[in-house]
Amino acid sequence: MLNDVYSRRILELAADIPLQGTLPDAHGSARAHSKLCGSTVTVHLKLDGDVVSAFAQEVKACALGQASSSVMGRHVIGSTTGELRALQETMHRMLKAGGGPPSGKWADLALLEPARDLKARHASILLTFNAVADALAEAEARKEQVSTVSTSEDHF
């Protein structure tokens, strides 16, 4: 069972997390933390319309949390806000409700499916998806705030 969860590919992904660091001019940033295991993932992103144009992440997590962050870092740039929110839901269903794994460019996340039975690991795996969703919400709220301010300034 643990060999399925901590496969060689999972460990390779965990050891090679792309886009690590910060993004000082991010449109949205968010931190997700698991009280259960102490893992933390902080993400920073920029949007061009509804497409992620820049991304950085700080990952302090177990191998499974690192692996999910690694996959996120490989494919997040160029992804739409809708795609990323759907991905968060798909991962949540995969781990907690017996749903199928993501497909397409996110297919490597199927490697985390054996962790379904390890409930204590779910929070760490989901950190990157939760942080991205929160950062998207922040970026969209800032964009809305800016457009509201500029619209109200146009009336003067």
Helix runs in the chain, H state only: 2-5, 8-15, 63-75, 81-96, 119-153
Residue 35 CB: number of other CB atoms within 10 A? Answer: 7
Res 9: pLDDT = 92
Res 34: pLDDT = 92
Torsion angle, CA of 124/69/81/34, rounded to 10 degrees?
A: 20
Res 140: pLDDT = 93
CA-CA distance, 86 to 92, in Å (whole number)?
10
Res 144: pLDDT = 82
CA-CA distance, 138 to 144, in Å (whole number)?
10
Maximum distance among all Cα pairs of the chain, rounded to whole angstroms: 66
Res 30: pLDDT = 98
Residue 43 CB: number of other CB atoms within 10 A? Answer: 32
pLDDT tens for the chain, 156 residues long, are 556 678 899 999 999 999 999 999 999 999 999 988 889 999 999 999 999 999 999 999 999 999 999 999 999 999 999 999 999 999 999 999 999 999 999 999 999 999 999 898 999 999 999 999 999 999 999 888 876 665 545 544
Phi-psi region of 56 (alpha: psi -120 to 50; beta: other; left: phi over 0): beta
pTM: 0.90
Res 143: pLDDT = 85
